[in-house]
C-alpha cells in the first residue's frame, strides 16, 4: 500500500526530503511509484540528462570536466513492520527521524537528490544513480542490471555509494561467501543405533573447526579488514526415532578484499577438505582504492579519515568495473532493517555538507 503520492520537492531540506522518500513505500519489487516520482522531479532540471532503465533512474551532468564521479543509492527497502509513516523522536538529546528506510538508505538518497538538483556547476562531472532491488537476490539488483544494459554509464574515476556509514567514509568492502558442508551416515532405528551411522554426530569436527578458527585482520591499502567465519545454520534429522543419514552446516565467510572469492573457496577446502562442500553464494569484495586522486580529495573534504567496510555492498560492482569506490551515508548500520530503524538528523546534514564541500571544491570542513 502506498503511503503518499505527493510529488517530490527537491527544494526541501534533506531531512524533509528523507521523510518524503520514506513515506512512499518502496519495498523491493514495489519501487515503481518512487522511481516515477524521482524521474518526474529530475525531468524539470535542464542541467541533467535523465535516463531510465526499469526502476533505476540515472541523472548526469555533461559539462566536459576532466573527471567524473559516480554517486549511487538504492531506493528499495526491506518489508515494513508498522514502521511507516515516519515521525521524529528524541533520545538522549539526539533528534532522530524514525521509520522504514530512514537508515537503509533513503536519507542518503535524499542528500544525493538534493545535491543533484542544486549543484548545476560541480567541480567534476557527476553521474547520479538511484536503483531498485538491492535488498533481494543479487541477480535482480538494479545496479547490476544497469551495468549489463548500459555499461557506457559506468565510465568514471571514482564512486560513492550512500550506504549507512554513520557519516564517515568506509572504503571498499569485504567479500562474502556461503557454503554448505555435508556429512553422511546410515539410517537405522534409534533403538538400535549401533547398526547405523549418525551423520549429525559426524558434524562435530566441523563445528570444532569453526569454534577454534582465528579470523584474520588484513591490511588492504591502509585499512584493516576483519574477517569472519561462522556457522549460520545447521540441519539434519529424519524423525524422532531414526538415526540421521545426512547433516548440513551452513557457513558464512566474510573475507578481506585482498582475497578473491575463488581463493576464499580454496580456503574452505583447506579447512573442510574431507567433507562435501557446496558453494551457494559468492561475491568478491572491493579494495578501497584510496590512492586514487579523487578518492583522496573526497576523504579530505569530508573529514580526512576513512574506515574499512566489513559488510558487502554494491561498491564491489564499481570495483569490478575498475572504479575505486567508498561507502558514505548517514545512519547507523546497526539500525538498518531494524523495527526501530531511525537516523540521527544531524548525520543527514553532515553528509550533505561533506558531499557539497567536495563537489563544489570548497575544501575540507
pLDDT of residue 161: 97
Distant-in-sequence contacts of 276-280, Cβ < 8 A, 24+ apart? 276/181, 276/182, 276/184, 277/179, 277/180, 277/181, 277/182, 278/179, 278/180, 278/181, 278/182, 279/177, 279/178, 279/179, 280/178, 280/179, 280/180, 280/250
- The residue annotated as part of the active site, out of 134, 170, 221, 344, is 134
Terminal-residue alpha carbon distance, the chain? 42
CATH of the domain at 110: 3.40.630.10
Phi, psi of 174 (to 5 degrees): -70, 155
Tell me the pLDDT tens digit for each residue of 16-36.
999 999 999 999 999 999 999
Question: What three-state secondary structure class fits 243?
Answer: strand
Q: How confident is the model at residue 362 (pLDDT cuts 50, 70, 90)?
A: low
**67 forms bridges with which residues in the sheet?**
none
- Does residue 180 carry a catalytic annotation? no
User: Does residue 18 share a domain with residue 141?
Assistant: yes
pLDDT of residue 4: 42
Q: What percent of the chain has pLDDT over 70?
A: 97
Q: Which residue among 223, 258, 283 closes a domain?
A: 283
User: Does residue 322 share a domain with residue 253?
Assistant: no
Q: How confident is the model at residue 6 (pLDDT cuts 50, 70, 90)?
A: low
**193 neighbors 137 (Cβ within 8 angstroms):** no
The strand ranges marked E within 46-200 are 49-53, 56-60, 68-74, 87-91, 94-98, 125-131, 158-161, 169-171, 175-184, 188-189
Write the DSSP symbol of residue 250.
E
Burial of 320 (0-12, 13-18, 19+ CB in 10 A): middle
Range of the domain at 341: 14-173+286-360
Tell me the pLDDT tens digit for each residue of 281-326.
999 999 988 888 899 999 999 987 899 999 899 999 999 999 999 9
User: Does residue 290 share a domain with residue 255?
Assistant: no
Mean residue pLDDT of the chain comes to: 94
User: Does residue 1 fall inside a structural domain?
Assistant: no
User: Does residue 9 fall inside a structural domain?
Assistant: no
- The residue annotated as part of the active site, out of 39, 76, 157, 314, is 76
The pTM (predicted TM-score) of the whole model is 0.88
Q: Has residue 92 got a pLDDT over 70?
A: yes
CATH of the domain at 256: 3.30.70.360
Per the structure, how many domains does the chain have? 2
User: Does residue 33 fall inside a structural domain?
Assistant: yes
pLDDT of residue 114: 98
Only one residue has cell 528506510, namely 101
User: Does residue 259 fall inside a structural domain?
Assistant: yes
Region of 344 please: left (phi>0), alpha (psi -120 to 50) or beta. beta
- Does residue 263 carry a catalytic annotation? no
Question: Taking the CA of residue 349 as centre, how many other CA atoms within 13 Å lie in the half-sphere pointing to its CB?
Answer: 7
Give the residue among 179, 204, 178, 183 at the shortest CA–CA distance from 248: 183
Q: How confident is the model at residue 364 (pLDDT cuts 50, 70, 90)?
A: very low
User: Does residue 126 share a domain with residue 197?
Assistant: no
User: Does residue 230 share a domain with residue 145?
Assistant: no
Amino acid at each position: 500500500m502506498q503511503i503518499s503520492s505527493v510529488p517530490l520537492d527537491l527544494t526541501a531540506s534533506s531531512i524533509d526530503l528523507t521523510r518524503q522518500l520514506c513515506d512512499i513505500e518502496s519495498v523491493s519489487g514495489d519501487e515503481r511509484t518512487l522511481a516515477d516520482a524521482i524521474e518526474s522531479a529530475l525531468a524539470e532540471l535542464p542541467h541533467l540528462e535523465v535516463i531510465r532503465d526499469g526502476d533505476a533512474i540515472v541523472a548526469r551532468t555533461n559539462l566536459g570536466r576532466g573527471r567524473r564521479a559516480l554517486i549511487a543509492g538504492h531506493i528499495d527497502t526491506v518489508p515494513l513492520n508498522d514502521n511507516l509513516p515516519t515521525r521524529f523522536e528524541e533520545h538522549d538529546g539526539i533528534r532522530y527521524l524514525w521509520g522504514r528506510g530512514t537508515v537503509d538508505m533513503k536519507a542518503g538518497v535524499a542528500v544525493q537528490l538534493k545535491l543533484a538538483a542544486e549543484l548545476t556547476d560541480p567541480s567534476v562531472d557527476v553521474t547520479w544513480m538511484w536503483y531498485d532491488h538491492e535488498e533481494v537476490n543479487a541477480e535482480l539488483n538494479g545496479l547490476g542490471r544497469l551495468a549489463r544494459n548500459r555499461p557506457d554509464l559506468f565510465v568514471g574515476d571514482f564512486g560513492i555509494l550512500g550506504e549507512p556509514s554513520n557519516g564517515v567514509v568506509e572504503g571498499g568492502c569485504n567479500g562474502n561467501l556461503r557454503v554448505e558442508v555435508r556429512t553422511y551416515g546410515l539410517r537405522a532405528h534409534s533403538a538400535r543405533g549401533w547398526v547405523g551411522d549418525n551423520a549429525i554426530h559426524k558434524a562435530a569436527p566441523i563445528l570444532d573447526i569453526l569454534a577454534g578458527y582465528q579470523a584474520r585482520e588484513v591490511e588492504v591499502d591502509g585499512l584493516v579488514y576483519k574477517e569472519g567465519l561462522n556457522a549460520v545454520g545447521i540441519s539434519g534429522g529424519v524423525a524422532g526415532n531414526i538415526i540421521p543419514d545426512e547433516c548440513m552446516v551452513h557457513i558464512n565467510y566474510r573475507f578481506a578484499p585482498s582475497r578473491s572469492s575463488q581463493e576464499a573457496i580454496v580456503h574452505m577446502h583447506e579447512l573442510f577438505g574431507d567433507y562435501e562442500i557446496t558453494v551457494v553464494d559468492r561475491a568478491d569484495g572491493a579494495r578501497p582504492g584510496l590512492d586514487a586522486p579523487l578518492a583522496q580529495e573526497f576523504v579530505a573534504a569530508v573529514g580526512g579519515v576513512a574506515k574499512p567496510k566489513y559488510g558487502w555492498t554494491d561498491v564491489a560492482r564499481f570495483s569490478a568495473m575498475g572504479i575505486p569506490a567508498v561507502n558514505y551515508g548517514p545512519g547507523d548500520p546497526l539500525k538498518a532493517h531494524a523495527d526501530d530503524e531511525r537516523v540521527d538528523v544531524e548525520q543527514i546534514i553532515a553528509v550533505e555538507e561533506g558531499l557539497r564541500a567536495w563537489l563544489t571544491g570548497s575544501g575540507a570542513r
